[in-house]
Amino acid sequence: MPPAEKAAGALRTIGELAQEIGRPQHILRYWETRFPQLRPLTRAGNRRYYRPDDVALVRRIHHLLADQGYTIRGVQKLLADEKAASRGAPRSSAQAFTAIRDALVKALEEDGG
């Protein structure tokens, strides 16, 4: 009898996740050393439990490496660039609001004088 399916938000063991993506467990352990974003929970005996966000990241890393032809370094750069872009988003929004404000001030000055 096959094991029961886990709920979408359930924690996954390294064995379950490795089987799901078709890679050996040592590959997942290696990825943990190469991708600082990948930090599963560790319990007694160094047992790893992957949260849903970790599972999604492992699937994405696997897809980029296996299907898209990225190298480890390429995936590292892609993830780092995405993180930097997400941090830069508020600054660019602030710059946009400043530009709008300046345009409104200029329009009001031209209208009044």
Q: Domain containing 17 — which CATH number?
A: 1.10.1660.10
Q: What is the pTM of this model?
A: 0.72
Identify the domain containing residue 96 by its residue range.
12-112
Does a structural domain hold residue 35?
yes
Does a structural domain hold residue 1?
no
Does a structural domain hold residue 7?
no
Counting DSSP H helices and E strands in the chain, the numbers are 4, 3
Residue 45 per-residue DSSP state? G
Burial class (CB in 10 A: 0-12, 13-18, 19+), 37: middle
Distance separating alpha carbons of residues 89 and 95, to the nearest angstrom: 10
How far does Cα 51 stand from its chain's mean position? 13
* Nearest in space to 9 (alpha carbons), one of 50, 47, 43: 50
Does a structural domain hold residue 52?
yes
Looking at the structure of the chain, the number of domains it has is: 1
Report the pLDDT value the prediction gives residue 84, as an integer from 0 to 100: 83
Does a structural domain hold residue 18?
yes
Please identify which residue in the block is written with the tokens 């467990």.
Answer: 25
Instruction: Indicate the pLDDT class of residue 2, thresholds 50, 70 and 90.
Output: very low
- Condensed to tens digits (0 to 9), the pLDDT of residues 16-66 reads 999 999 999 999 999 999 999 999 999 999 899 999 999 999 999 999 999
